[in-house]
Amino acid sequence: MDYRRTYLRDLLKGEPGTTVDAYGWVKTRRDSKTVSFVQLNDGSCFADLQVVIESGTLDENVVKQLNTGACVRFTGELVASQGGGQSVELKAKEVELFGAADPTTYPLQKKGATMEFLREIAHLRVRGNTFGAVTRVRDRAAWAVHRFFQERGFRWIHTPIITASDCEGAGSMFSVTTALEAVPTAEGSKYVLRQSDPKQDFFGKPAYLTVSGQLNVETFAMGLTNVYTFGPTFRAENSNSVRHLAEFWMIEPEMAFCDIVGDMNLAEEFVREVIQDVLDHCAPDIEFFNQRVDNTVLETLRHVAESNFERMTYTEAVKHLEASGESFEFPVSWGMDLQSEHERWLTEKKVGRPVILTDYPKEIKAFYMRQNEDGQTVRAMDVLVPRIGELIGGSQREERLDVLEARIDELGLEKEVYWWYLDLRRFGSAPHSGFGLGFERLIMYLTGMKNIRDVIPYHRAPGQADF
């Protein structure tokens, strides 16, 4: 056995008459008097290989064990397929059962499993149609992300996961500490404090899981010009929403000598190109999502890959929302942070395609955003898309040392923590911009999946850290 086996993806394009080995897991088996049909899948593509077993050719005891979930190798001859669907099927001559799956206890049976149930068996769900397709799309999209940036000369920077500074200044961070120890008790376990002084803790100061790689990646833009980071980020938002995770992946490009207009241009080109790449390379998976999950996915993606995004300021957006006549749960007024219901109305009802909002009130945005001349707003830009709401958050950065320091003071943040970030403004400062795209939100958009927990291998959310 060698990894250079032929995957089912390639066998399905094979020549009738050739003898091949087919490895995979049984999706289903159907028996008639003279023949059994097995649908075999190895995850290399959406389609299954149909294996035809004429009675008498294989050991009946083994055939009986070819239940859903069993892992097997067939050797046989590719023959032209009788039915529609595939062009070839496999006429089995030999079988090797690697692992049986007892049909009375195997949890991933053929039909009717809800997404909630599948989440409880997240270690097995990748063998099913939906999560297999999600995983292939996710893989392709990640590849397309790297391709997009690498083709444009952006360098991939591996920013740290453990940090001592809060990038977004929102305080929803997880602590990283060795000060606590879990000890067993009669009820389960409890924490015991080993010591309470951060100076005595592992890093000699309070440390956290990063909420964003932006601050670190900015330092590399101030030397390599165009860079990006793509990795896991963490937020302790106690939110049970279908759009938030406690651990999610973010893509954050950062560009020196680029203003907010260039930032928006990059964001738009980026989203459209990744969508086109996935359409080009995952057609059968997207077709499945379109048929079984959301019948608008294909049309939406094709449309978005070709159309320009609308651009409007926050102030204009608020005016549209106020004039909309909709009764929102959260009434709209200038200065408020837009809620998902507002974002969705703007992109779905008002514009009917992605929209980029700019120039938000400074009070609702992070400390590092460049202030506008009006003293009220900052050069922020959010990309909103139908069904998801906010897909991207970004901005031009404040490159003026005095303005940035004043803002940090005004917000009561600890200037000492940001000393190195301020150094970038002290020595060779440059206008620069960047953004962050939530990778799981992009996957939701690409697949039509409704819950963000179903587009990541193992979801982390309040009360949820299984597997």
Q: Residue 390 interacts with ligand 4AD (CB under 6 A)?
A: yes
Residue 438 near which of ligand 4AD, Mg ion, none (CB within 5-8 Å, type-dependent): ligand 4AD
3-state secondary structure the chain: CCCCCCCHHHHCCCCCCCEEEEEEEEEEEEECCCEEEEEEECCCCCCCEEEEEECCCCCHHHHHCCCCCCEEEEEEEEEECCCCCCCEEEEEEEEEEEECCCCCCCCCCCCCCCHHHHHHCCCCHHHCHHHHHHHHHHHHHHHHHHHHHHHCCCEECCCCCEECCCCCCCCCCCECCCCEEEEEECCEEEEEECCCCHHHCCCCCCCEECCCCHHHHHHHHHHHCEEEEEEEEECCCCCCCCCCCCEEEEEEEEEECCCHHHHHHHHHHHHHHHHHHHHHHCHHHHHHHHHHCCCCHHHHHHHHHHCCCEEEEHHHHHHHHHCCCCCCCCCCCCCCCCCHHHHHHHHHHHHCCCEEEEEEEHHHCCCCECECCCCCEEEEEEEEECCCEEEEEEEEECCCHHHHHHHHHHCCCCHHHHHHHHHHHHCCCCCEEEEEEEHHHHHHHHHCCCCHHHCCCCCCECCECCC
In the list 27, 136, 140, 244, the residue contacting ligand 4AD (rule: CB under 6 A) is 244
Rounded to a whole number of angstroms, the minimum distance from the CB of residue 268 to Mg ion is 17
Q: Which one of ligand 4AD, Mg ion, none interacts with residue 258, CB within 5 to 8 A by kind?
A: none
The candidate with the shortest Cα–Cα distance to 399, out of 407, 388, 410, 387, is 407
Cβ 119 vs Cβ 459: under 8 Å = yes
Q: Among ligand 4AD, Mg ion, none, what binds residue 389 when CB lies within 5 to 8 Å by partner kind?
A: none
**Binding partner selected for residue 275 from Mg ion, ligand 4AD, none, CB under the kind-specific 5 to 8 Å limit:** none
Nearer to ligand 4AD, 51 or 383 (CB): 383
**Shortest reach from residue 258's CB to Mg ion, in Å:** 19
* Nearer to ligand 4AD (CB atom), residue 436 or residue 448: 436
In this complex, which beta carbon is closest to ligand 4AD, that of residue 8 or of residue 173? 173
The CB-of-393 to Mg ion minimum distance in angstroms stands at 3
Which residue from 359, 365, 368 is spatially nearest to 417, judged by alpha carbons?
A: 368
Nearest residue (CB) to ligand 4AD, 167 versus 282: 167
Largest CA distance in the chain: 85
Is 222 among the residues that bind ligand 4AD (CB under 6 A)?
no
Task: Tell me if 436 contacts ligand 4AD by CB under 6 A.
Answer: yes
Q: Does 252 bind ligand 4AD (CB under 6 A)?
A: yes
Binding piece for Mg ion, criterion CB under 5 A, among 27-35, 48-56, 90-98, 387-395: 387-395
> Please, which residues have CB within 8 angstroms of residue 229's CB and are 6 or more apart in sequence?
156, 157, 158, 159, 213, 214, 216, 217, 250, 251, 252
Q: Is 370 in the site for ligand 4AD (CB under 6 A)?
A: no
Residue 448 binds to Mg ion (criterion: CB under 5 A): no
Nearer to ligand 4AD, 31 or 237 (CB): 237
- CA 201 to CA 197: how far, in whole Å? 7
Residue with Cβ nearer ligand 4AD (27 or 138): 138
How far apart are CB 278 and ligand 4AD at their closest, in Å?
17
Which partner in Mg ion, ligand 4AD, none is near 394 (CB below 5 to 8 A by kind)? ligand 4AD
Number of residues near Mg ion (by CB under 5 A): 1
Does 434 sit near Mg ion (CB under 5 A)? no
Q: Which of 438, 443, 445, 453 binds ligand 4AD (CB under 6 A)?
A: 438
* 152-171 positions binding ligand 4AD, by CB under 6 A: 167-168
Contacted entry of Mg ion, ligand 4AD, none for residue 166, CB cut-off 5 to 8 Å set by kind: none
Q: Which does 461 bind (CB under 5 to 8 A by kind): Mg ion, ligand 4AD, none?
A: none
Of positions 132, 393, 394, 448, contacts Mg ion by CB under 5 A: 393
Nearest distance from residue 41's CB to Mg ion, in Å? Answer: 39
Q: State which of residues 36, 50, 135, 214 lies at the interface with ligand 4AD (CB under 6 A).
A: 214
Return the HEC string of 110-149. CCCCCHHHHHHCCCCHHHCHHHHHHHHHHHHHHHHHHHHH
Distance CA 395, CA 152 (A): 20
Pattern of binders to Mg ion over 19-48, x per CB under 5 A?
------------------------------
Q: Binding-site residue total for ligand 4AD (CB under 6 A)? A: 23
As measured in angstroms, the least distance from the Cβ of 258 to ligand 4AD is: 12
CB of 390 to Mg ion, least distance (A): 6
Chain residues binding Mg ion by CB under 5 A are 393
Chain residues binding ligand 4AD by CB under 6 A are 167-168, 212, 214, 235, 237, 244-245, 248, 250, 252, 390-395, 434-436, 438, 440-441
